Structure 1
Amino acid sequence: MQIKQILLASRPQGLPDDHTFNTVKSSLREPQPGEVLVKPLYFSVDPYMRGRMNDAKSYIPPFQVGEPIESGGVGEVITSRDDQFKTGDLVMATGARPFLPWATAAIFPGTHLRKIDNSIPPTYYLGLLGVPGLTAYFGLVDIGKPKAGETVLVSGAAGAVGIIVGQIAKIMGCRAVGIAGGAEKVNLLTDTFHFDAAIDYKGNPNLDAAIAAVCPNGIDIYFDNVGGEISDAVMRHLNFFARVPLCGQIALYNVTEVPVGPRIQPLMVTRSVLMQGFTIGNYSTRFGEGVKQLSEWIKAGQIKYTETVIEGFDQLPAALLGLFSGKNSGKMVVKV
């Protein structure tokens, strides 16, 4: 059968553009015994994918030039030669590389797939019950260790991880403050997701003063999704024994030179601050715990969610690039 694939055409310097991607047509063979032909329904696009475009050692292998880009996704079984699956099953990739290639169809060994419950919206497995939800849960609960009455500030708060962090903070009796870009996102945080306060970093040239105004008693937990100048401003307001789960640095992913910012180590020493970087793979043996707790909060109506859904396989590159200009509220998903 004929399929389309989106390949990494070249390794970008700075922000990727249309030349980073190459869409090609190719032939796909028939599945062999033990294999399953899968048609993707939804793809996830996430900021960490920018790092995989670099030929650099990291916690996950880089994309290869001339090969399909891959990301989390949900697919439908079209043809199965594995008795565990039947036509129409909804599946996700599993194992060491739980990704779908950016292709309109792909063949997997049955051992590399898992069925998902089709009574739950499939995009939830890419967001609220997937990597973003689990990242928010373990980063805040395990590293942040929130206590009732504390102030939790989240950067990138209107993104897929941030909106969940703020809501978990509220469930745990904390005061939740978000930083996001634009009045619309700020209103989303306070009106829909019930953050106690939110700051529009685009509309506040003096971010330091804005943080001081909404966090008069300082910050006990800073969930850092963005890094850069926003985090520089936040650090000055950390309380003694503050915790900083270091989740993402999207403000720095496309820089071509190493920026020099404030030296935060003296502040960390004098205020006994704990900063810990993490990736969700660190918690792979505890995913069941996270999904169980998130599911309970969803059923109890304690966590709400939002998505930005873009339609069309060919829109995958544009959707990915849109993350770096803040075009998403909540999880960015492409519907094939």
Structure 2
Amino acid sequence: MATDTTARTLRLLSLLQTRREWPGLDLADRLGVTVRTVRRDIDRLRELGYPVDSARGHGGGYRLASGTDLPPLLLEDDEAVAVAVALRTAAGGLTGIEETALRALAKLEQVLPRRLRGRVTALQRAVAGITWEDRGPRTDPALLAALAVACRDHETVTFDYTVRNGPPAARRVEPCHLVASGSLWYLLAHDVARDDWRVFRLDRISAVAATGRRGMARPVPGGDPAAFVAHRLSTAPTRYRAVATVQACADHVRARTRGLAGRVRPMGEGTCLVDASDDSLTRVAQTLATLGTDYTLDADPQVVRHLRDTAQRLLRATG
């Protein structure tokens, strides 16, 4: 009987860690017990130091609250393996995350069961990463975590956002998804004041504050957050304009220019337009270099000068 009670309590803890709030009837149904038994198991968790909040009345429920200490977490086998591998590789584009990730990994590997340790070791040996010197924008892990919680809980937040050519402006949004692209992170959110979807770069966000107001989950147009963000980024205004008429079919160009699928437009048999516009002259040149075929270019004077200077340096280097 004691074993059954312990197993049920651990199962209850696992359920509480997967959702923001659970109605008591749902927990009882999942565990196959009465609501009264759920209440007793909740009391056992509280005695063990887990801060479980409860709401009375119709529709009331339970949720794990934040406490003064982080209580132990229950992870399924596949979850533990995923966390260990993610910590081993660490998230790109985050300031100061490497050392923190290694400390957390050491704690996790110390308690991993032997059956899982072998899987994690095999994955780590099979997966390798290349670390390049990155001078690009870095994202604060605390900011990333705060916005991830807001996305999970559908909680409205406010923050200051700095646009490319202007001062910071106050925004009030309903966060939806976080999307990573290389070393950059983006927040896909519904802007309350503008009543429209917006994409925000995390390195331009500051002074995030939760409002305590929660709403319903909004469906992302098209159903794919990453595709939506990629499309918005491809159509956003850029500092330097560069449009190439390429002597190749659109499918061939898309295969060579990853991430620009939404900026490749078929023009006819064997011809397409590629919008290589960007905020960086270097990235414009890199995009054009990947085309691998002949093209004519319609571009800003700054782009033309940069490409000519680059070409002359290459010619001098090769004699």
TM-score by length of 1: 0.27
Higher relative contact order (CA 8 A, sep 6+): 1
Greater fraction helix: 2
Larger C-alpha radius of gyration, 1 or 2? 2
| TM-score normalised per structure 2 | 0.28
